[in-house]
Chains A and B, each alone.
Chain A
Amino acid sequence: MERKKIILILCGHFEQSVIDRISADILNFFYFPLEVKECTLNLTSFYNPTRRQYDANLLINAVSELSSPDAIKTISLFRVDLFIPILTYVFGQSMLNGSTGIVSLYRLRNELYGLEQDNHLLIERFRKVIIHELGHAFGLIHCHNPVCIMRSSTYVEDLDQKEMDFCMKCRTELDKRLDINSI
C-alpha cells in the first residue's frame, strides 16, 4: 500500500527557496512525504467586495476538492487577505482533525503595519503559521506555552514571540497522533 502524503497547494507565486524551506519543515515536523501542486482555482469567486477580502471558509472547502485520495492532509498557500464572517481577518484556517488547511502571507507582511519590509521575518512567520495550521489538522489545540508554535496568535508580534517548534507536551501529543495516522 502506498504511503499517505501531505499535499502542498500553491495559490500564487512563491519563490522556490521558500517552498524548499516549507517542504523541509513539513518533513521535519510531520515525517510524511510531501507533494507540491499548483492551484487551479479562480479566486475571484471567493472575493467579498464589501469586505475586500477572500472568504477563508469557502476557500477551505474548495481546496479540499483539489486534494487527492493519497493525501493525509492538504495545506494551501495564498497571498491574499483572508477573512471568516465573524473575524476581521485570519492568518490561516484549518479544521481541528480535518483534512485541509489554508494559510496566507498577506497579513504577515511588516509593510501592512507601517514597518520596514523584512523578507526574512516574513518567511519565518509564514512557516510558523503553516506548521501551526497543520498541527490543528492533526488534532492539536491551542497551547498556553508562550513559545510553543501551537500558541494562539492574533498579531504578528505574537508570531514573532513563538519558536519554530512544538513544546514538549504538544510534541508528545503530535507524535501519538502521527502514529495513529500512519497506521
Chain B
Amino acid sequence: MTEKKVSILVVDDEESVRDSLYNWFIDDGYAVECAENAKQALTMLEARDFDIILADIKMPGMDGMEMHRRIKILKKEPIFIIMTAFASVDTAVQALKNGAYDYVTKPFDPDDLSHLIRNAASHVTLEAENKSLKDRITTLEDVDDLIGESEAMQQVLREVESVAQSNSSVIVTGESGTGKELIARAIHANSPRKYFPLISVHCGALSESLLESELFGHEKGAFTGATFNRKGRFEMADGGTIFLDEIGTISPKMQIELLRVLETRSFVRVGGNKEISSDFRVICATNRDLKSMVDNGTFREDLYYRLNVVNIRIPPLRERVEDIPLLINHFIRKYCKSMSRDLIAVEPAALKHLQELEYPGNVRELENMIERAIVIGNGKEIRLNDLPMGKEVMSSSIESLDDLERKHISSILDKYNWNISRASKALNVDRATLYNKIKKYDLKKGSR
C-alpha cells in the first residue's frame, strides 16, 4: 500500500517565503501547494483538503487570523500554524486561543521548523490512524454477514442485542455452518468490551496438551519446543471476550481446568508457578447437545451450568427458507465486490433450485455455492448449470453431520492407505486434528 503524503498549504504574500518553504517541504517529501493571499487559500480549501496550513499573520486584505476563523466555518480541520515576522506574545496567545496548532517567528531556525512540521505531520498521521481504527470498529459493530428477516433470525438478533450489554456467559448452539462465530462476534462488537480483543479458540482442532498450552500459555522450557514464554488465550482476552468453539469436544481434564478458571478468573501458565488474573467474558459454541452429554456423563454438569447462563440457538437454514433470497443477494454483493466484478443476477430456475435445497451445511454451504457459481459462471447471472446438482447432492442414507464426517474421513484414510500425513493434507487439517477424529470415531484400518 502506498503511504499517503502529508499535504501542506503555504500562505504568504512574499514570493521568496513561499518559494523557500515550498522547496524546503518538497525536499522533505511532503505534498506542497502555495497561495499568495488568504482569499486564494480559501478557494483552494473549498476544492480540496490540506493536512497542514502555514499562514502568514500579516497579509494584505484578509490576515492569517481571520483566514483561520473562516477555515473553521468551512468545517475543515487542518493543523493551522501561524507565521509572523513580529515576535509578539499577545499575537501568539491569541492565535493559540483561536485553535492554532503553533506559532513561529520569521526567520525560523531550520531545526525548529523541521521539528514543528515533523510533530504536526505525526499528529496528522495519528489522527488518520485513529479514524481508520474507529471506522474498523464501526464496521465490526455492523457485523454484515448476520442476515435474516425471518422471525427465527429476528429472535436471535433480539437475544444478541439484549445479552450483549451484560457480562454473562453465553452458549451459542446450532448446526455446523449456521454462523455461531458470527453471533459471538456480534455479541462482542455490541458489548462494552468491544474496544478490547475478541480471542477465538477452536477447541476441536487441538489435542488436550496443545489446548492447555494455547489457553493458559506456557513458560520457557515447560515442554520440548517451548523455547520462549508465551501468553495464553485467556491472558490475551483480558478486558475482552474469549470465544471457545466446539466446546463439546474438550477432554474431562480440560473441563475441570476450564471450570476452575471460570470460577476464579485466574490461572497458571503451563510450566509456571505465578497466578495470572484476567478479566474476560466467555462465549462458547457447539453443534452437539451438551445437555445429553451431561446426562450421559461426558460433559461436567457444573461446567455446563457455569457456561449456560444464556443459550442462543441459531436455527438451521431449512427453518428459515424465507431468508435464502436475502442471503443470496448478500453473498453476491460480497463476492462480486471482492472479485471486483459487476453485480450479477440469479436466473429464476437457479433461484428456485436454491430455495428447494436441504442445506445440511447451512449458510456456509449456501455461501460456498454462490462463491463457486460466481467464479465459474458467465459473469452476468447465476444459472442452474453453475450450481452443484445431482451427483453432488448428499446421500440420503447419511443422517447426521458426524456420520458424514466419519464416512468422509474413513474414505480419505483408505484412499491414502492410512498415510496420516497425506490424508491430513487432503482433508486440509493438521495431523493432530486427524488423530483426534480417528479417536473420536474409533476408526481402524480396514474396518470401513
Contact = CB atoms under 8 A, between A and B. Distances in A.
Contacts of A84: 16, 20
A131 to B, nearest CB: 15
Contacts of B111: 154-155
A85 B27 contact: no
Contact of B20 (A51, A87, A152): A87
A103 to B, nearest CB: 15
B28 interface: yes
A88 B17 contact: no
A11 B291 CA distance: 94
From A96, A154, A155, name the one whose CB has the most chain B CB atoms within 10 angstroms: A154
Given A86-B106, A87-B113, A141 B17 contact: no
B29 A90 contact: no
A155 B16 CA distance: 23
Given A152-B27, A154-B114, A85 B109 contact: no
Contact of B107 (A88, A96, A141): A88
Interface in A3-45: none
B20 A141 contact: no
Contacts of B26: 96, 141
B225 interface: no
Interface in B88-140: 106-111, 113-114
A141 to B, nearest CB: 5
Given A96-B23, A141-B27, A154-B114, A85 B108 contact: no
A121 B107 CA distance: 28
A136 interface: yes
Contacts of B106: 85-86
A63 to B, nearest CB: 16
Contact of B29 (A86, A87, A142): A142
A85 B29 contact: no
Bin chain A's interface residue count.
Answer: 10 to 19
B28 A86 contact: no
Contacts of A87: 20, 24, 107-110, 113
Given A141-B28, A141-B29, A155-B111, A86 B23 contact: no
Given A86-B106, A86-B108, A87-B20, A136 B113 contact: no
Interface string A52-94: 0000010000000000000000000000000111111110010
B19 interface: yes
A88 B28 contact: no
A95 interface: yes
A134 to B, nearest CB: 13
B57 to A, nearest CB: 14
A88 B23 contact: no
Contacts of B83: 86
A88 B29 contact: no
A154 B107 contact: no
A136 B24 CA distance: 11
B21 interface: yes
A86 B20 contact: yes
Interface residues of B, number: 21
B27 A89 contact: no
B14 interface: yes
Contacts of A96: 23, 26-27
Contact of A85 (B107, B110, B114): B107
Nearest to A158: B111
A136 B305 CA distance: 71
B23 A95 contact: yes
Interface string A149-177: 00010110000000000000000000000
Contacts of A95: 23
B176 to A, nearest CB: 50
A87 B16 CA distance: 11
Given A57-B16, A85-B16, A141-B28, A90 B110 contact: yes
A83 B107 CA distance: 9
Nearest to B19: A57
A136 to B, nearest CB: 6
Contacts of B16: 57, 84-86
Contacts of B27: 96, 136, 141-142, 152
A84 B23 CA distance: 11
B13 to A, nearest CB: 12
Interface string A105-116: 000000000000
A109 B27 CA distance: 25
Contacts of B107: 51, 83, 85-88
Contacts of B110: 87-90, 154
Q: Which 3 A-B pairs have the closest CB atoms?
A: A154-B111, A154-B110, A141-B29
24 contacts: A51-B107, A57-B19, A85-B14, A85-B17, A85-B106, A85-B107, A86-B16, A86-B20, A86-B106, A86-B108, A87-B113, A88-B110, A90-B110, A93-B23, A96-B26, A136-B27, A141-B27, A141-B28, A141-B29, A142-B28, A142-B29, A152-B27, A152-B114, A154-B109
Interface of A: 51, 57, 83-90, 93, 95-96, 136, 141-142, 152, 154-155
Given A85-B14, A87-B109, 19 more contacts: A57-B16, A57-B20, A85-B16, A85-B106, A86-B16, A87-B113, A88-B107, A88-B110, A90-B110, A93-B23, A95-B23, A96-B23, A141-B26, A141-B29, A142-B29, A152-B27, A152-B114, A154-B109, A154-B110
